[in-house]
């Protein structure tokens, strides 16, 4: 039986989008860059993790899914075919917090809000 290991998000600037989602999701953080990972980047001509074409956001060890943010050359031009539904205790406060991180409100509905991340990927926010 298949299980979800990772959710992969195509993006134009993986580090920016990864930082947003690491801050947006409770208990998640950008995976630390150890010396081996920094050497892997350098061997590919990348001196700054900010330019990493694949940035991992993960929760505590053993918790899945992880999120990989992967560099692609083309911009997002249509609505997502898949999106995340997030829950929170205080809808208004969480919308404000997410917008301060770089999200934008796309639509407000009765009981939930559609937002976009810094590259325009839609997600929904609902009360817990």
Q: What is the pLDDT of residues 4-13, one digit of tens each?
A: 989 999 999 9
pTM score > 0.85 for this model? yes
Q: What is the pLDDT of residue 53?
A: 96
> Is residue 8 a contact partner of residue 71, using CB atoms and an 8 Å limit?
no
Domains in the chain, CATH or no CATH each? 1-73 (no CATH), 82-128 (3.10.180.10)
Q: What is the pLDDT of residues 64-112, one digit of tens each?
A: 899 999 999 998 889 888 999 999 999 999 999 999 999 999 999 999 9
> Is residue 19 a contact partner of residue 79, using CB atoms and an 8 Å limit?
no
Q: What is the pLDDT of residues 28-52, one digit of tens each?
A: 999 999 999 999 999 999 999 999 9
Residues 6+ apart with CB under 8 A from 46: 52, 53
CA gap 70, 13 in Å, rounded = 8
């Amino acid at each position: 039986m298949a299980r979800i290991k990772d959710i992969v998000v195509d993006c134009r600037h993986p580090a920016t989008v990864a930082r947003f989602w690491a801050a947006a999701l409770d208990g998640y953080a950008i995976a630390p860059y150890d010396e081996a990972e920094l050497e892997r980047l350098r061997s590919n001509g990348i001196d700054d993790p900010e330019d990493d074409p694949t940035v991992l956001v993960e929760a505590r060890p053993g918790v899945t899914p992880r999120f990989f943010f992967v560099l692609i050359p083309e911009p997002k031009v249509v609505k997502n075919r898949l999106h995340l539904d997030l829950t929170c205790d205080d809808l208004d406060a969480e919308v404000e917090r997410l917008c301060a991180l770089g999200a934008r409100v796309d639509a407000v509905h009765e009981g939930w809000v559609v937002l976009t991340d810094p590259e325009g990927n839609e997600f929904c926010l609902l009360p817990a």
